[in-house]
Amino acid sequence: MSKTNFNELELILGYKFKNLCLIEEALTHSSIKIKNKESKKLNYERLEFFGDRILGFIIAEKIFLKFTNLSEGELNLVFQKYTNETFLYKIAKNLRLDLFIKTQKGDELKSNKSILADVVESIIAAIYLDSNIQNCKNFIDKKILLDGNITISKEKHPKSDLQEMSLKLFKTIPVYELEKKTGLDHKPTFSVKVKVNDDLCAMSKGKSMQIAEENAAKKLIPILKKVIKNHDI
C-alpha cells in the first residue's frame, strides 16, 4: 500500500500507526502469499483472532458497567447487537475498508461480508499492538459505537420468547441440538436445530453454541406466531 493510501486510511480510522507493518498485515487476506523473516505467513487471521477478543472484552465491560439491572441473557442480547458479523460488516463499509483490503482475487473477496467484519477486528488488534488498550477503546467508541452510544434492544431474548410461546401452545419447552461444528479451531461455526413439540423446527448458525441457539430461536418464533394466529390463541 502506498504512503498516500496509508495516510488516507489513518485519517478514516482516526489513528496514526507507528508500525505500518501491523496495519498492512491487518488488511492482507490469506489469498496473498506473503511471509515474514521467520517464513510465517502474513495475513489478518491471527490479528482477527486477537481483535475479536479485544472487541468482546471492551463491549462486555461497557454494557456490564452501564446496564447494572440487566440479567445475563439481556446483557448477551446487547452484546450480540454490537459484535455480530452483520453489524461489523456495516462498520467496515462505513469506513470504506473494502478499498484498502489486499486480496489475490479482487473485488469478489473485498465485498465479502465475513472478510470485511474480520478486518474490523484485525484492525482493533493492530491498534492494540501498536499502542495500548485505551486507543482501542477510543477507536471502538468513535468508529464502531459512534461516540460510545450503546442502547438496549427492545426485543425480548429470543430463547425466552420462544420458551414462553412453546409452553403456551404445547406445555413443553424447546429442545436445542448441535447438528455440526465446522470452521477453524479458533473460529468455529456451530449449526444448531431447535425443535418444539417434535414437529416444528428451525436451524441456524453462530460462532458459539449460545449465538446459534439464539439465531435458531429467532427463526422458529415467526412459525409459532402463525400457529398462535391460526388457532386464535
Q: What is the pLDDT of residue 155?
A: 63
**Does 121 qualify as catalytic in the annotation?**
yes
What are 156-171's pLDDT values in tens digits?
A: 678 888 998 999 889 9
Q: Which residue has the cell 435458531?
A: 216
Same domain assignment for residues 189 and 140: no
Q: Point out the catalytic residue in the list 24, 25, 48, 52.
A: 52
Side chain identity at 144, as an amino acid letter? I
Order of all β-strands in the sheet with 175-184: 175-184, 187-196, 200-206
Domain boundaries, position 14: 3-144
Task: Please state the separation of Cα 122 from the chain's center in Å.
Answer: 12
What is the number of domains present in the chain? Answer: 2
**Region 177-199: what's the mean pLDDT?**
91
Kindly report which listed range (55-59, 102-106, 126-130, 178-182) carries the lowest average pLDDT score. 102-106
**Does 24 qualify as catalytic in the annotation?**
no
Top-confidence residue, 97 or 208:
97
Q: What is the pLDDT of residue 80?
A: 86
Last residue of a domain, one of 122, 144, 166: 144
What is the CATH number for 181?
3.30.160.20
- For residue 193, what are the β-bridge partners? 177, 203
Same domain assignment for residues 175 and 133: no
Q: What is the pLDDT of residue 153?
A: 66
Same domain assignment for residues 71 and 24: yes
Q: Does residue 149 form part of some domain?
A: no
Q: Does residue 118 form part of some domain?
A: yes
pLDDT confidence bin for 44, thresholds 50/70/90: very high
Instruction: Please check the confidence at residue 180 and state whether its pLDDT lies above 70.
Output: yes
Instruction: Please check the confidence at residue 33 and state whether its pLDDT lies above 90.
Output: no
Alpha helices in 106-190 (DSSP H): 107-110, 113-130, 133-139, 158-170
Q: Point out the catalytic residue in the list 121, 130, 213, 214.
A: 121
Q: Which of 59-73, 92-106, 115-129 has the highest mean pLDDT?
A: 115-129
Instruction: Please check the confidence at residue 40 and state whether its pLDDT lies above 80.
Output: no
Q: What is the pLDDT of residue 55?
A: 98
Q: Taking every pair of C-alpha atoms in the chain, what is the biggest distance, in angstroms? A: 69
Q: Does residue 33 form part of some domain?
A: yes
Report the SS3 class of residue 188. Answer: strand
Instruction: Please check the confidence at residue 107 and state whether its pLDDT lies above 70.
Output: no
Instruction: Please check the confidence at residue 109 and state whether its pLDDT lies above 80.
Output: no
